[in-house]
Structure 1
Amino acid sequence: MKGFFATFKHDHWVMPYLRRYRKLLALVLFLGFMTFFCGGALMFNSGYLISRAATHPYNILMIYVPIVLARAFGIGRPAFRYAERLTSHNWVLRIVSDFRKRLYQAVEKQAVAIRQTHQTGDVLSILAEDIDHIENLYLRTVFPLVIGWLLYLFVVIGIGYFNWAFGLLMLLLLGVIVIFMPLLSVTVNGRREFQARQVQRNFYTKLTDSVLGLGDWLISGRRTAFLAQQDQPIDEIATLRRADHHFQWWRNFAIQVVFGAAVVLIVWWAGLTFTHNQAEANWVAAFGLALFPTVEPFSSMSQGVSEWPVYKDSIERVNRLDENEPEQAPQTTISGEPTLKLDHVAFTYPGAERQVIDDLSLELHPGEKLALLGPSGTGKSTLLKLILGDETPASGQVTLNGVPIAQLQQQRAQLFGVLDQQPYLFDTTVMNNVRLGNLNATDEDVHAAVKAVELDDLIGRLPQGYDTEVQEAGSRFSGGERQRLSLARILLQDAPIIILDEPTVSLDPITEQHLLDTVFSVLHDKTIIWVTHHLAGINHVDQVRFIENGRFDMQGTPAELYRDNARFRALYDLDRGK
């Protein structure tokens, strides 16, 4: 249990909820204790009843009370067990609901930064496993452990009431099961369990990376190598699991041996203590049978504690998620048509030596159209993150109407619309997908937006019109059609600044030109920042900026650059096939 108290010393995920629901927790522990108390009392009473009935009582009233108690304890045990299960799961589900809400909020706040601090597999582990681990911490460790210790103390004190020396012996003997075995489990098996989880987590990360690059594996003809790479961690986990099960078998066998010894000793002690006359002899079987129901909670303590290293790792991971949470700037709002201004902005990613954005200044007035060009890795995507507020400049400022963009994040959806390379369509109806741009939009508003992007005829020919399912990731539609549906969303969103992040990169030249004409036509009154690699449709913009090594290398209107800049003229002619 090394590090147990250190883990919870600065914890702000687990302990606060234990305190918030402490009354319900106390009820859970009480019901759990009463479940096994009724089981023990039923066996104790039954042992006495069997012995007493075997002496042929001259009147049924002599054993009437034990008969009634047998019925009461027999009904009480399943009743308390049922109530304990309902209450404990209600308690855990309340906490898990709070956990998941808080976790998703933490991930949302770090939606961009989290990709710099966590791999995709790590994020999946946090979302899919860590909260479940904390849930199991209560159900499989905390509840059995506390209930087991309560029963342990009850048994020892109960026997010590009759004979303190024998009570001390039971304290030591049962202590092997409830103290020594859990400590042995967490020492020997806990580390192995932790290693298995670590291999599994690394497997998630590698498998995610491999799946994302699956096309390259197949093209290179390395199918066998791909499968072998996935088999290795599976074999490692299987080896650790076999060792785990082997240890569990021997541990459970040892617990049964020690428990059996405790039962034999109790029967022996009861035989010495309660055989002075016939009436006292009836209690020998009662004491001998009473201990049997406690074997279940006693044995489950070791398995629950052995998983502590896994739970500890999960608790530390979710706490680190909060520690990495960026500080939120004081929020405000602006009104009117926004003017975007970058004032000597510079930016470098943590740990990187090269400055990605180097002293950029830019001003865009309402309705202006800007094209950002440049080779890959020159800072175009980083500049968009700075404009949206996903990243904070190392120096300089990004403002809208003079207000820093960091202070406008709560108004972000009303200020910016984004159409990127692969807009996502959800597996629901056309109507629902387009209405995501404005959940308050009427059906007529959706129809008007779809008509504006020239998809009304296509939607009208679908089997169920606007109620047609678009299928997973919009696979029912072509790339150009998916872009137009996403453009319809942006029209409903009605944000004053639109960012086009290479929306035509995967389209053929004819579809690309037609889509660009549509985009700039329906967004004619919006401020547009268009990131592109080539010059098709460049005449739609008011100014062009080339980014090279984090700086604006050349800038001007398309006409000015074509007239005065030989490099721009060559690129333009190349795009037009001259």
Structure 2
Amino acid sequence: MNFFKTFKHDTWVKPYIKQYKGLLITVLLLGLVTSICASALMFTSGYTIDKAATHPVNILLIYVPILLTRAFGIGRPTFKYIERLKSHNWVLRVTSNLRTRLYTTLESDAAFLNEHHKTGDIMGLLSEDISHLQNLYLRTVFPTVISYLLTIIGSLVLGIYNPAFGFFVFLLLAIEVLIVPLASVAIESARRERQKQIKADLYTNLTDNILGADDWIISGRKDDFKNLSAKNISELNTSKNKSKSFRRNRDLFLQLIFAGIAICFIIFTNLTMTDGQEQANFVSAVVLCLFPLSETFIPVSQGYEEWPEYRDSILRLNTLKPVENNLPKQVELDPADFSDIEINNIDFEYDADSPILIKNFSQEIKKGQKVALLGPSGIGKTTILQLILGDLTPQKGTIKVNGHNVQEIQEHREQIFSVLNQKPFLFNTSIMNNVRLGNENKSDSEVKSALEKVGLKNLVESLPDKYETLVGENGSNFSGGEQERLALARILLQDAPVVLLDEPTVGLDPITENDLLTTFFSVLHDKTIIWVTHHLQGIDHVDHVIFMNSEEIEMQGSPHELYQTNKHFNELYKMDQGL
């Protein structure tokens, strides 16, 4: 019931079985032929030995069995090799589609990925669930279907010769390929579920702990950090050892069942196939042909046992839904034609139960204008940037770019907007590759020019590998200020008319922060800048300041005017400058 219920509304497994059904059928037939060749090889070998032992009058009497022995001996590894190629080709095609689909699904919700998913869950999706679906085919679907086909074909063949014996063998094989596998699922299901839960917890805990390793060290709790996951790891190892013990005992039982089937074949052939010398030559051949089939029947229980893991992966993947694309008809906007951004009386709240975060906010930002958005944490400054980008949609009011609703330019918004946030992500590849992410069509000389403009030329050229220097994981080989400059070089290559700065200097020392801000506004002098900041350092670089509180815009205007006319701004400025 759980099996059919799992696939009732599945959209991650069934579609690809239908899409590649031709190749799937080929794989199953090749697997079936491989097993038949293995069995036939033992049959012809046994018959040839028996026939040769009776001193045939003419060697030609065993010539055909000898040829068949050679043919099946060659056919078995050949078909096995082709079956492996085809099955892995099938699986790789499917998993390639699955990984692409998973990326597309997560990418469609990229702006809020961390809000909807834990980092450990994302790692589990990428490293566990797709691999589980791959194993579902290789270790469960293929072996099970082939073993069932062999059970039916073998029982029918025996049934034609002796119906009672054919039915008896069918019952014994049913124990091998159905009863014991189902019992394995029942016994191991809870244990496997617990193992999967422990793994998921380890992913989440280890991710949290590694990202927060500095805090553990600073707090002097190094031993606690090392031992934090020890209990889970110990429990996981204990559970896995129990599973291994169960599998050893189960496989021994299956071998004993198979040995019982072999004994039954010996008894049956001696009772029914010894009326004459010609029949007697088939006795050992019939019994021998049975043994290679154990390699097909016994792994079925292992495949069944792993089904709970596959089921959980299928269910988890089916809960992932791409964000629906409800965009209006898109328009092409030439970056060179950018003129203004109009924010008209917008209200925004994250859900019906939360308070309104932004209320009746309006602003007009002209081409080339430099705007600073200030205010306490939590009042929606970054949210305004997300609304301007189009990641969020206001419940009331509109945001327009050149008179077009921002939702109408989403397909190519990277031509209009570039973003520099608090912690730009740098990949573990060369400096050139990291900067060229802004525009992959730019030449090496243009990348170097961008690095020179942001003040990194001397540093980069002093390094042993120069522009091919590895940046390190998340920029670990460079300081915070250098990372921001690398990200700024990306923006220069992207060359969008509007740049959104989301507190890019937070956490830096005052000297580095001041140098960076000077660089930002210098190299971006011809761009429209909307800068979210939490204090007034570098405020002289902007044309217009908007100071928000939890209810409204408290003050706005040019920094010079506000300094002269607004007492609160004057006090904040002096406090921030240490005056």
Q: With structure 1 as the length reference, what TM-score do the two structures score?
A: 0.95
SS at match of 1:421: coil
Structure 1 residue 136, shift from structure 2 partner: 0.5
Q: Say if 1:192 and 1:468 are closer, same or farther in 2 by CA, change over 3 A.
A: closer
SS at match of 1:530: strand
Paired AA for residue 97 in structure 2: D
SS at match of 1:441: coil
Q: CA RMSD in A?
A: 1.8
Name the CA distance, whole Å, in 1 between partners of 2:41 and 2:575.
91
Kept in 2: contact 1:274–1:284 (CA 8 A): yes
Paired AA for residue 427 in structure 1: N
Q: Which runs of 5+ in 2 are unaligned?
A: none
SS at match of 1:113: helix
| Pair 1:344-2:345 in alignment | yes
Name the CA distance, whole Å, in 2 between partners of 1:268 and 1:576.
100
Q: Say if 1:273 and 1:550 are closer, same or farther in 2 by CA, change over 3 A.
A: farther
2:150 — aligned with what?
151
Of residues 324, 327, 332, the one that matches 1:326 is 324
Q: Cα deviation per residue 1:297-321 (whole Å; 9 max; x = unaligned)?
A: 1111111011111111111222221
Q: Say if 1:49 and 1:452 are closer, same or farther in 2 by CA, change over 3 A.
A: same
1:442 — aligned with what?
443
Tell me whether 162-171 or 3-12 shows the greater mean CA deviation.
Answer: 3-12
Name the CA distance, whole Å, in 1 between partners of 2:476 and 2:181.
53
Kept in 2: contact 1:374–1:546 (CA 8 A): yes
2:528 — aligned with what?
527
Tell me whether 438-447 or 124-133 shows the greater mean CA deviation.
Answer: 438-447
SS at match of 1:112: helix
Tell me whether 136-145 or 406-415 shows the greater mean CA deviation.
Answer: 406-415
Name the CA distance, whole Å, in 2 between partners of 1:457 and 1:116.
40
Q: Cα deviation per residue 1:439-460 (whole Å; 9 max; x = unaligned)?
A: 2222332233233223333334
| Pair 1:400-2:394 in alignment | no
SS at match of 2:505: coil
SS at match of 2:110: coil
Tell me whether 343-352 or 253-262 shows the greater mean CA deviation.
Answer: 343-352
Tell me whether 521-530 or 348-357 shows the greater mean CA deviation.
Answer: 348-357
Paired residues in the alignment total 576
Kept in 2: contact 1:355–1:550 (CA 8 A): no
Q: Say if 1:163 and 1:139 are closer, same or farther in 2 by CA, change over 3 A.
A: same
Kept in 2: contact 1:130–1:318 (CA 8 A): yes
| Pair 1:544-2:559 in alignment | no
| Pair 1:125-2:116 in alignment | no
Q: With structure 2 as the length reference, what TM-score do the two structures score?
A: 0.95
Paired AA for residue 127 in structure 2: A
1:25 — aligned with what?
24
Paired AA for residue 432 in structure 2: M
Structure 1 residue 143, shift from structure 2 partner: 0.3
Spell out the pairing of 1:255-334 with structure 2 (5 A cutoff).
Answer: 255-322=254-321, 324-330=322-328, 331-334=330-333
Name the CA distance, whole Å, in 2 between partners of 1:430 and 1:178.
57
SS at match of 1:141: helix
Paired AA for residue 25 in structure 1: L
Tell me whether 537-546 or 26-35 shows the greater mean CA deviation.
Answer: 537-546
Name the CA distance, whole Å, in 1 between partners of 2:224 and 2:511.
40
| Pair 1:201-2:206 in alignment | no
1:574 — aligned with what?
575
Spell out the pairing of 1:474-489 with structure 2 (5 A cutoff).
Answer: 474-489=475-490
Q: Say if 1:468 and 1:214 are closer, same or farther in 2 by CA, change over 3 A.
A: closer
1:85 — aligned with what?
84
Q: Cα deviation per residue 1:123-143 (whole Å; 9 max; x = unaligned)?
A: 111111111111111000000
Paired AA for residue 539 in structure 2: I
SS at match of 1:399: strand
Structure 1 residue 349, shift from structure 2 partner: 2.5
Spell out the pairing of 1:150-299 with structure 2 (5 A cutoff).
Answer: 150-299=149-298
Kept in 2: contact 1:144–1:297 (CA 8 A): yes
| Pair 1:509-2:510 in alignment | yes
Kept in 2: contact 1:435–1:446 (CA 8 A): yes
1:458 — aligned with what?
459
Paired AA for residue 325 in structure 1: V
Q: Say if 1:121 and 1:350 are closer, same or farther in 2 by CA, change over 3 A.
A: farther
1:564 — aligned with what?
565
Tell me whether 457-466 or 403-412 shows the greater mean CA deviation.
Answer: 457-466
Name the CA distance, whole Å, in 2 between partners of 1:197 and 1:28.
30
Name the CA distance, whole Å, in 2 between partners of 1:40 and 1:350.
65
SS at match of 1:349: coil
Q: Say if 1:219 and 1:460 are closer, same or farther in 2 by CA, change over 3 A.
A: closer
| Pair 1:378-2:379 in alignment | yes
Kept in 2: contact 1:338–1:496 (CA 8 A): no
SS at match of 2:372: strand
Name the CA distance, whole Å, in 2 between partners of 1:401 and 1:145.
62
Q: Say if 1:547 and 1:352 are closer, same or farther in 2 by CA, change over 3 A.
A: farther
Name the CA distance, whole Å, in 1 between partners of 2:170 and 2:423.
67
Name the CA distance, whole Å, in 1 between partners of 2:357 and 2:118.
22
Structure 1 residue 221, shift from structure 2 partner: 2.3
Name the CA distance, whole Å, in 1 between partners of 2:221 and 2:546.
42
Kept in 2: contact 1:371–1:545 (CA 8 A): yes
SS at match of 2:111: coil
Q: Cα deviation per residue 1:168-219 (whole Å; 9 max; x = unaligned)?
A: 1111111111111111112211332122112101211121112222222222
Name the CA distance, whole Å, in 1 between partners of 2:41 and 2:359.
79
| Pair 1:104-2:103 in alignment | yes
Structure 1 residue 352, shift from structure 2 partner: 5.3
Tell me the percent identity. Answer: 50
Structure 1 residue 55, shift from structure 2 partner: 1.4
Structure 1 residue 519, shift from structure 2 partner: 1.3
Q: Cα deviation per residue 1:459-484 (whole Å; 9 max; x = unaligned)?
A: 34333443444444334433323322
Name the CA distance, whole Å, in 2 between partners of 1:370 and 1:560.
14
Structure 1 residue 368, shift from structure 2 partner: 1.2
Structure 1 residue 257, shift from structure 2 partner: 1.6
Name the CA distance, whole Å, in 1 between partners of 2:231 and 2:309.
22
Q: Say if 1:455 and 1:227 are closer, same or farther in 2 by CA, change over 3 A.
A: closer
Structure 1 residue 87, shift from structure 2 partner: 0.8
Q: Cα deviation per residue 1:409-432 (whole Å; 9 max; x = unaligned)?
A: 221211111122222333333333
Q: Say if 1:222 and 1:475 are closer, same or farther in 2 by CA, change over 3 A.
A: closer
SS at match of 2:229: helix
Paired AA for residue 375 in structure 1: P
Structure 1 residue 158, shift from structure 2 partner: 1.3
Structure 1 residue 497, shift from structure 2 partner: 0.7
Structure 1 residue 275, shift from structure 2 partner: 1.1
Structure 1 residue 102, shift from structure 2 partner: 1.4
Name the CA distance, whole Å, in 2 between partners of 1:511 and 1:178.
69
